[in-house]
Structure 1
Amino acid sequence: MFELHKPSLNWSMISTPRGYFNGTFYDTRTHREHYRRRKNVMGHPLTMSNVIQDSNTTQYHLPLENRQELQFDTIAKICWMDVKLVFQMLNATPRYIFSHRWGYKQNGQWSGMINDLHTGRADLGTNCLINNKERLDVVTYTDMVAPFRVRFVFRQPPLSYVSNIFSLPFSTSVWVAIFVISVVSTASLYLASKWEASLGTSPTQLDGSVGDALLLTMSAVSQQGCFFEPIKFSGRVMTWVFFAALMLLYAAYSANIVVLLQAPSNSIRTLAQLAASTVTLAANDVDYNHFVFSLYKDPDRVRIYKRVDPEKGKGKGQFYDINEGVERIRQGLFAFHSIVEPVYRRIEETFLEMEKCDLAEVDFMNGFDPFIPVKKDSPYLELMRVAFKQIREAGVQSALVRRVHVPKPRCASEVSAFSSVGVRDLKPVLLFMLYGIAASVAIAVIEILIFKLHRQRRFQLRR
């Protein structure tokens, strides 16, 4: 009994002894694994479709594997190095073509790399995400060669943009304690001033009213002086103790405010939080970002899609190249959708150490890991699948990835640096001032009305 197979359509038939049958079948094959018996394709040319979108210079650097311009098309370069090893393991002649998009179906026709596989121009392609079910009709996925993630990368907004930092230095119990102490102090000063007023008065003395006692207490809380003061020893001791206690609280409060003004928040963790935030949303100006946003129909993703790429007549699409996108990330309040590895490489080159500490990412596509696509029903599918797994198990694949990919930058130490304070950081204070002005104007109007009513009543009584 013999096995018959061809390494390719144009190759002559090859026969291999399988065994003989003499009442019982006797297997004489050296190896029973299909891969080990057929892995030699005898120089048959296999073609890979390489997707390049960052720079046309990749067409020169990729075949040479010279590690030049690694910031461009890192996924394609890693895939080519792995696939070339697979071709050597299979004794195949490596060939390559280039495409400028992964491939999407438009008007019933495939484009880019998927079209190369579908039409037979290529036998396998570059790693791509399994986020399009229609592709399963024309390609089969083998193994992950060059892992990559597609995310929104951004810096967490400052804490002052999402919270009232002027209430954060103290816990709720401390604020309640300050309020209780203020009430006790007002009552104590009122009783002391009442007693002092019964003994005699002076221009700077508290007149024994609740208003003067409250004014002195508020002056202590805000660390301001007051024209009125007690004149007796007991009242002055109470005033001094109250001012000293609040001075220590004021010092701790001021120190915390300085830290909180420069602290990042952790307010954006999910896609829903990103959609509801005021952060500018944008995407890398490459092929896949003009298609993937429209594939999802849930409310959060639709809101993000409309902000990144508004409908015609409703604004300009937010698409930028890597360099401009990363610079806008550095400036803050900007989320950039892209393959994160080239973004992180640019961040390592341009960001200060302190600017790397608040980097975050949110997954929009929520897809599986990327895999190498192979033409549907390819006779070399099983051969390449086993070869890819051997490269992966031997550690060659991870070594190539580490040579090219840049991981997420680590925050070695949170270095303190000067940070300017803007109007938005002081929004709660400005609102408090506006409320105070409005309240003072309202009180003044009420006082004028009361004064006029009293004067009119006195005038009527005289008549």
Structure 2
Amino acid sequence: MANVIQDSNSTMYHLPREDRLEPQFDAYTKISWNNVRIAFEMLNATPRYIFSHRWGYKQNGTWTGMIADINSGRADLGTNCMANTERLPIVTYTDTIAPYRVKFIFRQPPLPYVANIFSLPFSSQVWIALAVCSLFSSFAIYLASRWEVRHGKSPAQLDGTIGDALLLTMSAVSQQGCAMEPRRISGRIMVLVVFTALMALYAAYSANIVVLLQAPSNAIHSLEQLANSKITIAANEVDYNHFIFRLYKDPIRIMIHKRLEPERGRAQFYEIDEGVERIRQGLFAFHSIVEPVYRRIEETFLQQEKCDLMEVDFMKGFDPLVPVKKDSPYLELLRVVFKQLHESGIRSAQFERLQVAKPRCAYKVSSFSSVGIGDLQPVLVLMLYGIAVSCAIVVLEIAYFRW
């Protein structure tokens, strides 16, 4: 059997001994070998192994890696691999003995990254009701101030204009004070009611904002959404990731390939440890066999950081299959014995011993979350609009005064 190792050369020491040490390296190769060794013994055959550092792709008309070993007769079969039509003249695919998945793994981006959280605390009906009540309050304060002006006016009293009434209402909406206020008891009661009601809304609004700043979104579920997002797209630094992205010609996968390997700049390929750390930091999608990534996630992530993990499948392929040399005299024997391994539960037992499933979110706990400029983008944009409007008003006032 040709065994593909890509994580660590120490696999060449641990795999023949089956000591289950360093399970984080080449776990699928070890599972495949354990199952094939049992299959050989069931066939009363002597298990022998060789090692290869590549799965096998055609380059300049020549096969490389594991497929080259099978094609040359150095090996009768190889490690589980994804079915590829280019390899069909060389090998026949039999059964799967170590199912694995190759996907993009990432944490869902924070909610402020995909939505304006400053409009989310209240529904649209509440915002409309708030606007209507503010206008109604402004009109009521305007009537009260008009009545007060008829009975005398002090320097800090409202002038009885609609502009002053709107200014007082906007001061209440933004929880700011106003230098001008009613002097009579009726107007003061109106102002007290407005400030009290808006203070309760302001408290509810602030509490919701704090929660939403730390909440993950649920925005990315498909390959198209991932391609159109601003998340960094990267892949594990292994040979198959340098080949499979070039096999697909649809626009979405071409877009992902261009982001992974841009024409200018550095290609986004990382080792497992660095890739998982970048996943933990967020806004980073990492393409790899998922189980080694999950093993590292279990070792390094906090509990609340496991709750927003997401997978997106790029290849849309079937389970990997064992390649056997085409027209091999052992083909039917291996097919039968692989089925027996599956039916007897040996394959499942090997898989459960050496693999780590997707981390479960057992419970969510609150934690400190820093707020960056990106989270406050809607507020900063609103401030820029306000500055622009105020400058325009100043220009109009100066023009009106001179005219």
* TM-score class normalised by the smaller sequence: over 0.9
Residue 415, structure 1, aligned to residue 365, structure 2: yes
Partners in 2 of 1:309 and 1:122 — Cα distance? 34
Deviations 1:133-171 (A, max 9, x none): 111121111111111111111111111111111001111
Does 2:265 align with 1:315? yes
1:329 corresponds, among 279, 298, 302, to 279
Residue in structure 1 matched with residue 21 of structure 2 by the alignment: 68
Other-structure match for 1:127: 80
From 388, 403, 412, the equivalent of 2:353 is 403
Matching residue within 117, 142, 160 for 2:94: 142
Counterpart code for 2:45: A
- SS class of match (2:47): strand
State how far apart, in whole Å, the 2-side matches of 1:399 and 1:440 are. 71
Q: Distance in 1 between matches of 2:158 and 2:344?
A: 87
The match for 2:187 is 235
For the residues of structure 2 that align with 1:450 and 1:103, how far apart are their CA atoms?
A: 79
2:166 is matched with: 214
- Within a 5 Å distance, the mapping from 1:23-422 to structure 2 comes to 48-130=1-83, 132-311=84-263, 314-422=264-372
Q: Which residue of 2 aligns with 1:30?
A: none
Over the residues paired in the alignment, what is the CA RMSD in angstroms?
A: 0.9
Partner Cα separation in structure 1 for residue 348 and residue 171 of structure 2: 66
Deviating above 2 A after TM superposition, structure 1's stretches of 4 or more consecutive aligned residues are none
Shift of 1:383: 1.2
CA distance in 1, matches of 2:88, 2:215: 47
Report the CA distance between 1:225 and its aligned residue: 1.0
Which one-letter code corresponds to 2:316 in the other structure?
N
Quote how far apart the aligned CAs of 1:227 are: 1.4
Q: How many angstroms does 1:206 deviate by?
A: 1.2
For these two proteins, the number of residue pairs brought into alignment is 403
The one-letter amino acid paired with 2:63 is W
CA distance in 2, matches of 1:151, 1:107: 29
CA distance in 1, matches of 2:378, 2:222: 27
Q: Secondary structure at the match of 1:125?
A: coil
1:93 alignment partner, SS class = coil
Note the C-alpha offset of 1:358. 1.1
Corresponding residue for 2:396?
446
- Tell me how far apart the structure 2 counterparts of residues 416 and 258 of structure 1 sit (CA, whole Å): 11
Q: Deviations over 1:241-271 (max 9, x none)?
A: 1111111111111011001111111111111
Distance in 2 (CA, whole Å) between partners of 1:342 and 1:121 is: 29
SS of 2:49's equivalent in the other structure is strand
For residue 85 of structure 2, what is the amino acid of its counterpart? Answer: K
Structure 2 unaligned segments of length 5 or more: list them: none
Report the alpha carbon displacement of residue 86 of structure 1 after superposing the two structures with TM. 0.5
5+ long unaligned stretches in structure 1: 1-47, 454-463
Q: Distance in 2 between matches of 1:192 and 1:396?
A: 86
- Higher RCO (CA-CA < 8 Å; seq separation 6+): 2
**Deviation at 1:449?**
0.9
Q: For 1:88-143, what per-residue CA distance to the aligned partner results, in whole angstroms no more than 9, with x for missing partners?
A: 1111100000111111111221111111111211111111111x211112111111
Quick one: distance in 1 between partners of 2:350 and 2:189? 75
Using the alignment, how far apart are the partners of 1:280 and 1:299 within structure 2?
Answer: 18
CA displacement at 1:310 relative to structure 2: 2.3
